[in-house]
Amino acid sequence: MTPAGGPDGPELPAAYASLPRAEFAFPGPLRDRLVGAILDGSKTATTSLLREYGDEGEPVPEPGARSVLIDSAGEPVAVIETAAVRVVPLAGVDAAHAVDEGEGHGSVAEWRAAHEEFWNSDAMRAELGDGGFEVDDATPVVLERFRVVEDLRRRLRPR
């Protein structure tokens, strides 16, 4: 994650200017859906590959950590705060977490199929720098619960 605001985007309130950026998926329709679900309150959890943190040299989020949610246009739209974090093997993701991701999956199997498709995609493999990357039951994942602390859309975009 990188600090939000500054020369590449709108100036954030001073309290948030140094926060890291939270970017869900890649810019485009999936990110737009995820950001919308976060803003409407239906998405309160997310899952990342533990490897993403190690490859980028970032620490795993901790409860109380805040970040600025970025939309597909690169604009800050909200401040989110981590409520809880667990690292588990992919096979350990439970139904409650899958539902709280707010993506409409009716079962853990549906949730997993969608996530495997994303994680095994060419775009994700390129991001990881590993063309042969594949997830399996033992792949460590980071389960994060969060809440919206502040909606920045009205604050940064006057009417």
User: Cβ neighbours of residue 50 under 8 Å, at least 6 residues apart?
Assistant: 60, 87, 140, 141, 142
Predicted TM-score of the model (pTM): 0.85
What is the per-residue pLDDT for 58?
Answer: 83
pLDDT in tens, 12-42: 777 788 899 999 999 999 999 999 999 999 9
Spatial separation of the C-alpha atoms in residues 26 and 128, rounded to whole Å = 13
